[in-house]
Amino acid sequence: MALISVGIDHEHASLDLLERVTVFEHEWNKVLRTLLSQRNIHEAVFVSTCLRTEVIAVIDRFHGAIEEITTTLAEATGLDASEFEDKLTVHFDRGVANHLFSVAAGLKSVVPGEFEILGQLRRALELASEEHTAGAELTELFQRALIAGRRVRAETAIARGTTSFAHASVTMALEELGDDISGAHVVVVGAGQLAAGVVKSLLGAGGQIARVTICNRTVEKADALRAEIGDSRVAVSALDDLAALLSSARLAIVCVETTAPVIAKTHVMNASQPLLLVDLGVPRAVGVDVEELDHVRRVDLGDLHLRIEQALGERHEAANEARVIVEHEVERFLHDQRARGAAAIVSELRDHFDEIVEIELSRREGDLAELSDEQREKVRSLIRSVVAKIAHRPTVALKESAGTDQGIRLNEATRSLFDL
């Protein structure tokens, strides 16, 4: 069996395609069950965020698994496989660890070093564990990736300054508006993790914001977020009040998963002042028709990506340091994995020899009948000692070569020679 990852991400696909392949979290369990029903897939973890939709799996046949994963993604997204298969990024065996550890380190994020990805990977593993689709191999892979991600943030400067998607979005919006944001009313649509980060970043922006209204379909969830934040500048409103709220807002940031835009042209036609709409939704949560209005400007994840690339050039050195840590953690993971494989075959080999000794002693019991118990035990001890000496060199060679190409060849040869 082998490891594989198959995904679509912001580095290789357009925002338009990314939003079309996004699968909402409440549907992940169905995707996981479909994956495990396939012939070549033995374990699977699935994650779908605004910038990444990916399957990590333990498989049998490589090409068979690719086809099964592609078919599953097509079914989950409602797309024909031909619409995305040339944009798939595939990693195999060692490449999977390199890829996943880099993702966890924030090296493949729009905002280098951002923290949200750690929570997303942790949640993906939790759901796979709940669905019993993540076994020992994927569980360890993800746990070690999370450890690598935390180490990168603790030991490098990659996570200093703008370290989250929410923070980067607010920074971009405030820079866009400049002095116009002073004393402004801001609307945040959504009450999830991303929205919480956005609200906290807004309130921490030097006291410029006069009022933030959390607008959410479920008012109780918005109320809970307001209570958690504990700032008198925060108000709560229902999604039905969105048009009225936007009429007096200078800025609105939309942080929701939605199958259809929650803000359309009709919502902002009566805005009393220029309005900046920041769309963090995938699929898009702000209709493109709002751009037909002169007083409305809309920015989305594509704009955010470009701005961040320009602003974070100084993090290149930290990113290089992070890559060194990732490489070290990958090597440790692979060495430990191969060492366990060597320990397993050494144990099997010793058990095999012990079984042969016991079978032969039992078969020749009649020949030893005239010996005393003490003499029979000496014979048994002598045979075991000889067998142990014969087995010593093979077991040492298996242990010493663990983690190398030679070790893999010795492992295979040992299994073949002794029928293990």
Token code pair at residue 364: 């020749």
Token code pair at residue 266: 């009709």
Spell out where 217-318 has E strands: 234-238, 251-254, 275-279, 296-299
**Bridge-partner residues for 57, per DSSP?**
4, 44
Q: What is Dmax (Cα atoms) for the chain?
A: 109
Is residue 255 annotated as a catalytic residue, yes or no? no
Find out whether 361 and 377 touch, Cβ atoms under 8 Å. no
Catalytic: which of 50, 107, 191, 196?
50
Spell out where 181-282 has E strands: 184-189, 209-216, 234-238, 251-254, 275-279
Q: How far is the C-alpha of 127 from the C-alpha of 32, rounded, in Å?
A: 9
Q: Which residues, in sequence order, are CB contacts of 235 under 8 Å at separation 6+?
A: 211, 212, 213, 214, 226
Question: What is the crossing angle of helices 165-177 and 301-311, to 10°?
Answer: 90
Could you give the C-alpha distances from 294 to 172, 269, 272, 287, in angstroms and in order?
A: 21, 10, 12, 15
- What is the set of active-site residues? 50
